[in-house]
Amino acid sequence: MKGDRRKLYTEERDFYELEGSVVMKLTPQAAANVCHSAVENGLVVARIEGGFWHDPGFEARRDCIWDGADPPLGLEAAAANNAEAAEFVEAQSEVHNAFILTAPPITGWPHENR
């Protein structure tokens, strides 16, 4: 990731510009927005980890983990998966205030495409 790992990000575009998959902490709104736009950016949300932001610091919660589809996927399957991911974030945002998204390419995990 190119950004600051000790920061809570509020903007969807930062996830893409700073390559935030796996490590970037996002507000609920930013995380839901990334889920909604991921297919347009060639990504599928494979995992969400929710928790609490303590400024600075992220406390991950085992009771707030969502596992999505494993790529490679078609566009329709990825879109349906990412819609479910957004619903999870929206439902969990009543309790949790920060989320980490793992979003590999729809075409498959980079390490498996070598």
Mean pLDDT by 10 residues, the chain (114 residues): 93 97 97 98 98 95 97 97 98 98 95 64
On whether the CB atoms of residues 82 and 73 are closer than 8 A, the answer is no
- In the prediction, which pLDDT does 10 show? 98
Kindly calculate the radius of gyration of the chain based on its CA atoms and give it in whole angstroms: 13
Helix (H) or strand (E) holding 65: strand 58-67
pTM: 0.94
Q: In this structure, what token pair is assigned to residue 87? A: 């619903």
For the chain, domains (ranges, CATH) are 8-112 (3.30.190.30)
Backbone torsion region of residue 57, taken as left when φ is above 0, otherwise alpha when ψ lies between -120 and 50, otherwise beta: left
- In the prediction, which pLDDT does 40 show? 97
Q: Which residue's structure tokens are 């439902």? A: 91
Whole-angstrom distance, CA of residue 75 vs CA of residue 35: 14
